[in-house]
A and B are shown apart, each in its own frame.
Chain A
Amino acid sequence: MTEIVLSDVSKRFRLPDREVTALDGITETFRSGSFTALIGPSGCGKSTLLRLIADVLPPSTGEIRIGNHDPAIARRSHEIGFVFQDASLLPWRTVLDNVSLPIEVAGKAPARDPRALITMVGLAGFEQARPSQLSGGMQQRVAIARALALEPKVLLMDEPFGALDEITRQRMNLELLDIWKASGTTAVLVTHSISEAVFMADTVLVLSANPGRIAHRIHIDLPRPRRLEMMRLPAFNAVENDVRAALFDDGTRVPA
């Protein structure tokens, strides 16, 4: 069971002329095997929160536990998969070699066959292609396959589909849900899109900026598996409106 627990976590950055509080008093539990979306205005620290969990940045105060361990331990035992906004593939490696990178680094027998992963993300036949030969959507699928290569217990995604067009994005959303369901990881997704957050997640955390705080928790009670048709249901729209209202809560409420 891999729960992510944050207790009173804050993060401050020291700039040359002042100190900025990016995150303040974040207390949250991400249930094992759950799917959580983080949404909020620019500068609310959602990417920073993801990087705190991934042990890329240390928290200024508070504590983070991944499956009852320190994030550094989780990271060193290769329990964390991370997907960046841009695919961040190594341009000199083929698709197959990119997906195999974490396995090489960990130096252990592959938890999952990289070729099977490539097939799973729908890129069978492209194993020997270079990243520059792939479209943005295909590159992002490679990045997801790479993140899954060591069967991570935690999958962290920083606006993974932000640069994709709407059609590709929805298709990738569906595929990602299938992959998540099959792997049973605890997923955290940072996104700018309200509909994406509602469509994907069990819980949407709405963050406010300056300092970054969790302003609202919205539970999504839509049935799984999620299907694209659901996006047309009144229930879906109602939740979307809830999130939208929560997002614009701080001072500038827009009438629906």
Chain B
Amino acid sequence: MARAVAEPDARLLPGRYAEAQERLAALRRAIVFAVLLMGTLLLVWAGIIAALDVPHYMAPSPQAVWGALTGEWAVLSKALGFTLRSTLAGMALALVLALVLAALFTFSDLLSRAFLPLIVILRTAPILAIAPLLIMIFGRGQATSVAVVVMVSVVPLMVNAARGFRSAPANVVELMHVCGASWWQTFQKVRLPFAAPYVFTGIRMAAAGAVLSAMLAEWLSGAPGLGTLILEASSFRRLPLMWAGVVISMAASVSLYVVTVQLERKMTR
């Protein structure tokens, strides 16, 4: 205890709350840092283009990107909407699937022993690599994007949910058993509340890759989202539009991540 007084060090606090908080703080610093960095880069960039008279098909000026951002907002926002719909639908579907599967694993030890190792392996597999297969199966529409997001999100969601359901202390579960509670009552009154923070951790982890996955699916399938927009803008050398797409996708990715970290923070408090 004396040492705890000696140097209070937030990094040593255990638990996901501290981790999430640290991530958020790191992110905040990153954003401030990024704004400064980008501001400098923008100035240098604009300066170089103005000074050397770089042709616009090599590299667009920041003004040109801003122009694309405002001028083509209709196109961009439509693509963004498509990508975000795929992302959110995929995550929602994955969440339901993950909760059901994790509950099944909690219900049956046999199922858990047979499938959990596979899921642990899946967690390490480059899941995005199977996106082309999903395109074959689901076609070139939004279904593929949703399917890719589901595939990528379901693993971290399920691993965390399963861990959460198992995090209920054995004593409390035994207490419920002694009280004559049914499996469902125990699940609903004990396991689910104990699992909630873990589930939100899973959502945060899934969110980190979800926008990227949706964009990759569009990119391969040609569905009209941000991924396709960036690719097409790039191949038609419409660089201002491409950069505008990049900026918007980054903003979307970071915003979703920040929202989920905040959500996790609220839930684990």
Contacts and interface: CB of A to CB of B under 8 A. Distances in A.
A–B touch (CB < 8 A): the answer is: yes
B8 A48 contact: no
A13 B5 contact: yes
Contacts of A45: 2
A190 to B, nearest CB: 9
A194 interface: no
Contacts of B5: 13, 15, 20, 22, 43, 48
Interface string B5-33: 11010000000000000000000000000
Contacts of B2: 22, 43, 45-48, 51
A45 B5 CA distance: 10
A15 B9 CA distance: 11
A247 to B, nearest CB: 17
Contact of A16 (B3, B6, B8): B8
B45 to A, nearest CB: 41
Contacts of B3: 47-48, 51
B6 A57 contact: yes
A254 B159 CA distance: 53
Interface string A11-28: 001011000101000000
A61 interface: no
A173 B5 CA distance: 29
Contacts of B6: 13, 48, 51, 57
Contacts, number: 25
B1 A47 contact: yes
Interface string A35-58: 000000011011110010000010
User: Interface residues of B: mostly helix, strand, loop or mixed?
Assistant: helix
Contacts of B1: 42-43, 47
A16 B9 CA distance: 11
A161 B2 CA distance: 18
A160 to B, nearest CB: 16
A20 B2 CA distance: 11
Contacts of A57: 6
Nearest to A48: B2
A45 B4 CA distance: 11
Contacts of A43: 1-2, 5
A16 B8 CA distance: 9
Interface string B205-231: 000000000000000000000000000
B120 to A, nearest CB: 23
Contacts of B8: 15-16
Nearest to A47: B2
Nearest to A46: B2
B25 to A, nearest CB: 15
A46 B5 CA distance: 12
A18 B96 CA distance: 47
A199 to B, nearest CB: 24
B104 to A, nearest CB: 35
Nearest to B3: A47
Nearest to B5: A13
A178 to B, nearest CB: 29
Contacts of A13: 5-6
A45 B6 CA distance: 10
Contacts of A22: 2, 5
A36 to B, nearest CB: 17
A14 to B, nearest CB: 10
Interface in B8-64: 8
Contacts of A46: 2
Nearest to A43: B1
A13 B1 CA distance: 13
Interface in A48-76: 48, 51, 57
Nearest to A23: B2
Nearest to A20: B5
A5 to B, nearest CB: 21
A26 B166 CA distance: 50
Instruction: List 7 tightest A-B contacts by C-beta distance, closest first.
Output: A47-B2, A48-B2, A13-B5, A43-B1, A42-B1, A45-B2, A20-B5
Interface of B: 1-3, 5-6, 8
Given A15-B5, A16-B8, 4 more contacts: A42-B1, A47-B3, A48-B3, A48-B5
20 contacts: A13-B5, A13-B6, A15-B5, A15-B8, A16-B8, A20-B5, A22-B2, A22-B5, A43-B1, A43-B2, A43-B5, A45-B2, A46-B2, A47-B2, A47-B3, A48-B2, A48-B6, A51-B2, A51-B3, A57-B6
